[in-house]
Amino acid sequence: MDPCVQPAPLTARRNGALKGRVRVPGDKSISIRALILGALAVGETRIGGLLEGEDVLSTATALRALGARLEPRGGGEWRIHGVGVGGFAAPAHPLDLGNSGTGCRLLLGAVAGCPIVAAFDGDASLRKRPMRRVLDPLERIGARTLESADGRLPLRLQGARDPIPIVFEPEVASAQLKSATLLAGLAAPGETTVIERAATRDHTEKMLGYFGANVRVAPEGQGGAGRRITLAGQPELVPAPIVVPADPSSSAFPLVAALLVPGSDIVLDGVMTNPLRTGLFVTLAEMGASIELVGVRNEGGEEVADLRVRSAPLRGVEVPAARAPSMIDEYPVLAVAAAFAEGITVMRGLKELRVKESDRLAATAALLRGNGVEVEIDGDDLVVQGKGPVPGGGLVTTHMDHRIAMSALVMGLASERPVAIDDGSFIATSFPGFVELMGSLGAELG
């Protein structure tokens, strides 16, 4: 973000029931992957419903610098003319990925399979996020890290001249880590395999297959909880039209707001319901939420549905660590829901939250404490004592984290006193138009 841009404080307050029908922006994970795979295909890829948030746009700018041609046509319609697997050109300047951890890590993988040198950088928040665990498998494939600040940005990467296929078993469940490895493996002869102990979101392998790559997915480990993903290298990716579904992570904010604000009744159109992304919906249902899936269908290879959400009393539950990969971005807003529930909610296995845009585990606990909610961090678990009414009245430090910002504003819509945030400017990284969309449902944000 431009240092000259001033923070944008916002306040949320109670203003009656939320009503209406809306569509949240396109899924960020699908949008970024569609741009990257379109740039690696040969020919023109057409994308509809692309999320035009800052994270996606910074990825598009980086792909242009790598030699692909990307043309926005308005209203989320884009055309991409790709350069083929291994065809990226050396960029003249550092690739600035802004706040996008997904764009940065996936592009590290895509560049690792090309015989070029590229510099990567980002904003102050992205510079704090660890890249070493992504660089490790890329170096096994044949890339070299020429410069790096302690495994963080800014860094320079020398792509592999002769990429080597590998078998890689990540220490942590991370879709970004898996995706970077598979994207690097595209340029290697033979088969690249990623073995997951716990299944993470599978958009990359689905989309690779959609673009013509040979990808095999098989259960792995005890009870088939993990997965073995095997990619045959050096395919010619074939352009394919993509319609990006509505983002379930972005849907979480109006959804939880409607559950908490009495009398609310809203419909969220065309939300992705991929089972590896719906951990929040499952958890909220266990808590007593009223969420109805209407018009379940398949669009562009992904399951989608319209969600009807009505206000309902919630109760505390225990959320198992195994569910974390399917809802890793939704824990802050789940913690807000837990604050209004009756009883204790325990969210287990949240180590990965410590290395998001902020230390999200600490930031989430601070958000709750600052608004009168009892909360404890026990190792990698978050324990929230729900008591029904939440006092509110706090000023939340967002730490340049869009999901902390939106979660705090959702709390303010149902708490006894308004909740303010120090800066809402980063919300646009994933949810442009958030304030306006919530306003159309009757929320008071300003």
In a domain, 142, yes or no: yes
pLDDT tens profile 248-282: 999 999 999 999 999 999 999 999 999 999 999 99
Residue-averaged pLDDT of the chain: 95
The answer to whether 264 touches 293, Cβ cutoff 8 Å, is no
- Domains identified in the chain, total number: 2
Say what the pLDDT of residue 111 is: 98
Are 303 and 347 found together in one domain? yes
Q: What is the pTM of this model?
A: 0.86
pLDDT tens profile 54-109: 999 999 999 999 999 999 999 999 999 999 999 999 999 999 999 999 999 999 99
- Domain boundary residue, one of 140, 159, 187: 187
Distance CA 326, CA 304 (A): 16
Say what the pLDDT of residue 299 is: 75
In a domain, 323, yes or no: yes
Percent of the chain with pLDDT over 70: 98
> Which listed residue (27, 55, 202, 329) is catalytic?
329
The answer to whether 412 touches 257, Cβ cutoff 8 Å, is no
Say what the pLDDT of residue 5 is: 55
pLDDT tens profile 376-417: 999 999 999 998 899 999 999 999 899 999 999 999 999 999
Higher per-residue pLDDT: 257 or 172: 257
Is the pLDDT at 230 greater than 60? The verdict is yes
The answer to whether 123 touches 170, Cβ cutoff 8 Å, is no
> Which of 200-204, 332-336, 418-422 shows the lowest mean pLDDT across its residues?
200-204
Selection from 143, 146, 163 nearest residue 155 by Cα? 146
Mean per-residue pLDDT, 166-180 = 95
Output the domain CATH number for residue 400. Answer: 3.65.10.10
329 is catalytic: yes
- Domain boundary residue, one of 140, 156, 187: 187
How many residues appear in the chain?
A: 446
Are 317 and 169 found together in one domain? no
Residue numbers of the domain that contains 378 = 10-26+246-445
Are 409 and 377 found together in one domain? yes
Exposure letters 371-407 (e unless 16+ CB within 10 A, then b) = bbbebeeeebbbbbbbeeebebebebbbbbbbbbbbb
In a domain, 298, yes or no: yes
Are 287 and 161 found together in one domain? no
Distances (CA, A) of 352 to 333, 360, 362, 397, 429: 16, 9, 12, 20, 20
Say what the pLDDT of residue 1 is: 43
Beta bridge partners of residue 230, listed in sequence order: 193, 216
Beta strand pairing call for 117-121 and 95-96: parallel
Are 32 and 75 found together in one domain? yes
Is the pLDDT at 225 greater than 90? The verdict is no
User: Which residues lie closer than 8 Å to 65 by C-beta, 6 or more apart?
Assistant: 91, 92, 93, 95
> Binning pLDDT at 50, 70 and 90, where does residue 145 land?
very high
Mean per-residue pLDDT, 289-299 = 93
- Domain boundary residue, one of 187, 204, 226: 187
Cβ burial of 40 (10 Å; 0-12, 13-18, 19+) is buried
In a domain, 222, yes or no: no
Selection from 311, 227, 324, 313 nearest residue 283 by Cα? 324
Total H helices, total E strands in the chain: 13, 24
Are 157 and 299 found together in one domain? no
